Amino acid sequence: MALMLCLGVVTATGTASAEPLYDKARGTAPLLETTKPPVLGNPINDDVRRTRNYAQQPPVIPHRIDGYQVDKNFNKCMDCHSRTKAEVSQAIPVSITHYQDRDGNTLAQISTRRYFCVQCHVGQDNATPFVRNTFQDVDSLLLKALQNPANASKKP
């Protein structure tokens, strides 16, 4: 009789937890269900340099890079962006910081810590943002503060 009671408790708790688990980042699909990934967009390919939003922001990639080989043996980006080829290709040469090791020593070639470009640099897509962006760069904030008459009488 006690064995039957224990089996009944285990069975009852087992059916109660059969409800699927959800993760809000995945939408309405349960965790254990495979979902279809969204279709990739069409990257911007106009070669127009974009304004950076903050001082240390890596520049974005203004052209398509799908199919570029960037691995330990070859970096397709350097065909145009290396300091020796940039004048011919009219591409922006990589910064001198890309030629420095972690100790600040300048190297003859791209540093291994800066070799994989897409770790920092990203392509652009005309995608609709998932959330509203209210970011304002520091120059805009300072300009608004100077234009505000309430701040004009305050001395720094």
Binding-site annotation, residues for heme c: 63, 77, 80-81, 98, 117, 120-121
Residue whose pair of structure tokens reads 């897409």 in the numeric block: 118
Q: Rounded to the nearest 5 degrees, what angle is found at the Cα of 103, between the Cα atoms of 102 and 109?
A: 65
Question: How far is Cα of residue 22 from the mean position of the Cα atoms in its chain?
Answer: 25
> Would you say 75 and 115 are in contact if contact means Cβ atoms under 8 Å apart?
yes
38: tokens are: 């969204």
Helix (H) or strand (E) holding 58: none
DSSP 3-state of 94: coil
The answer to whether 80 and 86 have CB atoms below 8 angstroms apart is yes
125: Cβ contacts below 8 Å, ≥ 6 apart: 41, 42, 43, 44
